[in-house]
C-alpha cells in the first residue's frame, strides 16, 4: 500500500499473504485483527459509552467479569466463526471449550484466547490487551476435542497479542520472527511498524513483579528480588496488565515475573492463553520463558485453565531467576 507521500507501507494482510504458503492457518491472524479493530474502537471510547464496569457476575476463576471482557469475547468469537478455519475455541471467560456452531464451516485449527487481559485496569484508562494462541488439531473429530487444546506451547503454529495502549498494536509470531503492526485509524489498517522484534542486548535492567506478594514467596524468590534491588542498577516497572508489561519488556529488555506464592501455588497466569503464546513470542524474539524450574513451551497442559508461575524476558535474566529458585528452595 502507498501513502499519499509515496511511502510504501506494509499492511498486516500483505505480510500474512507472504507467509501463507509457509504457515497454513496464519490468515486467522487477520480475522483476529478485525476483532481487534472493533475492540480498539470500544476501548478508546469506553468512558463515553456504557461499556465500563462489571456485569455483576464472576467467571470460572472467581474474578469479577467486566462489560468489556464480555464484549471482547463476543467480538472475537464472531470474527473467528466466519474464518471457516477453526473447529473449536477456548476462552478465559468460558469454563469449557466449544465447537464453532454448525451454521459456520469448520477448519483444522483451534484458538485459545484471553479476550481482554488486564481487566482491572479498564476503568482507570490503563493499557489492556488481547492474547491468542493457535494450534493445529490433533484429534480426528470434525468439531474438535479437549486434547486439541492440551498441546505443549512449542506446538503452537502462531501466537500473538493486541495492545490497546497509546496506539493499538498487534504483535504476532508464526515461527518466523516477531512482527509488530500499529493500527492506523485514518485508514483502519494495521501497518508494519516493528519488523523482526527482539529483546535488546544488553537489556535495560528492569524487573516487573507485584512486590506486594513478597511475604508469600519462597526464599529463593525473595532472595532474587533482594539481589535485583541490591546495587544491580535495576529499576522496577509494573503496570498490572500482562500484555503491557510484556510489551515493554520486549522493547526495552528486562524480566517479567509472576511467581508462585502461598496464596497462588501455581502463580496466577494461565498457561494456555497467557503464558504459552507469550513464551512463543519471547523465544522467537531471542529471549526465553520459564516456570522457574523449566521451559514453559515444554509443558503439556493438563486442563484448559491451568496456571503456571512465569518468568519471561532476556535469557540471561530468566537464567538468573532459575539459579536463585533452584539453589535456594
**Which positions touch ligand AHG (CB under 6 A)?**
63, 92, 114, 117-119, 210, 240-242, 245, 268
Asked if 322 interacts with Mn ion (CB under 5 A), we say: no
Q: Smallest distance from the beta carbon of 326 to Mn ion, in angstroms?
A: 28
For residue 118, the 8-state DSSP code is -
- Choosing among ligand AHG, Mn ion, none, which partner's interface includes residue 93 (Cβ < 5 to 8 Å by kind)? none
3-state helix, strand, coil in the chain (%, to 5): 35, 25, 40
Nearer CB in complex with ligand AHG: 139/252? 252
Beta carbons of 209 and 238 less than 8 angstroms apart: yes
Compute the least distance from the CB of residue 274 to Mn ion, in Å: 5
CB of 317 to Mn ion, least distance (A): 22
| Closest CA relative to residue 159, chosen from 59, 81, 70, 243 | 243
**254, three cell numbers:** 528486562
In terms of CB distance, is 173 or 241 closer to ligand AHG?
241
Residue 92 touches Mn ion, criterion: CB under 5 A: yes
User: Apex CA 242: angle with CA 162 and CA 89, to 5°?
Assistant: 55
For ligand AHG, the closer CB: 172 or 242 = 242
Q: Which is nearer to Mn ion, 113 or 324 (CB)?
A: 113
Q: How far is the CB of 78 from ligand AHG (least distance, A)?
A: 20
Closer to Mn ion by Cβ: residue 106 or 268: 268
Closest CB to Mn ion: residue number: 117
- H runs (alpha helix) in the chain: 12-20, 28-44, 67-81, 219-229, 242-252, 276-284, 315-328
Q: Which residues bind Mn ion (CB under 5 A)?
A: 92, 114, 116-117
Amino acid at each position: 500500500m502507498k501513502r499519499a507521500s509515496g511511502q510504501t507501507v506494509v499492511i498486516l494482510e500483505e505480510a500474512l499473504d507472504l507467509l501463507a504458503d509457509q504457515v497454513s492457518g496464519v490468515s486467522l491472524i487477520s480475522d483476529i485483527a478485525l476483532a481487534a479493530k472493533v475492540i480498539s474502537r470500544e476501548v478508546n471510547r469506553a468512558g463515553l459509552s456504557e461499556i465500563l464496569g462489571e456485569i455483576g457476575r464472576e467467571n470460572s476463576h472467581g474474578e469479577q467479569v467486566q462489560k468489556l471482557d464480555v464484549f471482547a469475547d463476543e467480538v472475537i468469537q464472531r470474527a473467528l466463526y466466519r474464518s471457516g478455519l477453526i473447529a473449536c475455541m477456548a476462552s478465559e471467560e468460558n469454563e469449557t471449550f466449544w465447537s464453532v456452531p454448525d451454521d459456520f464451516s469448520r477448519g483444522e485449527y483451534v484458538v485459545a484466547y484471553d479476550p481482554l487481559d488486564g481487566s482491572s485496569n479498564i476503568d482507570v484508562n490503563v493499557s489492556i490487551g488481547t492474547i491468542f494462541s493457535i494450534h493445529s488439531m490433533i484429534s480426528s473429530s470434525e468439531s474438535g476435542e479437549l486434547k486439541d487444546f492440551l498441546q505443549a506451547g512449542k506446538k503452537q503454529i502462531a501466537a500473538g497479542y493486541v495492545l490497546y495502549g497509546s496506539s493499538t498494536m498487534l504483535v504476532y509470531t508464526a515461527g518466523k520472527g516477531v512482527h509488530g503492526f500499529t493500527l492506523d485509524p485514518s485508514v483502519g489498517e494495521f501497518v508494519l511498524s516493528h519488523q523482526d522484534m527482539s529483546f535488546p542486548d544488553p537489556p535495560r535492567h528492569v524487573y516487573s513483579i507485584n512486590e506486594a506478594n513478597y511475604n508469600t514467596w519462597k526464599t529463593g524468590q525473595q532472595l532474587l528480588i533482594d539481589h535485583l534491588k541490591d546495587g544491580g542498577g535495576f529499576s522496577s516497572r509494573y503496570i498490572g496488565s500482562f500484555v503491557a508489561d510484556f510489551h515493554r519488556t520486549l522493547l526495552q529488555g528486562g524480566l517479567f515475573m509472576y511467581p508462585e506464592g502461598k496464596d497462588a501455588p501455581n502463580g496466577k497466569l494461565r498457561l494456555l492463553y497467557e503464558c504459552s503464546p507469550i513464551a512463543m513470542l519471547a523465544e522467537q524474539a531471542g529471549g526465553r520463558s520459564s516456570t522457574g524450574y523449566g521451559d514453559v513451551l515444554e509443558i503439556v497442559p493438563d486442563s484448559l485453565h491451568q496456571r503456571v508461575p512465569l518468568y519471561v524476558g532476556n535469557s540471561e535474566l530468566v537464567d538468573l531467576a532459575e539459579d536463585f529458585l533452584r539453589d535456594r528452595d
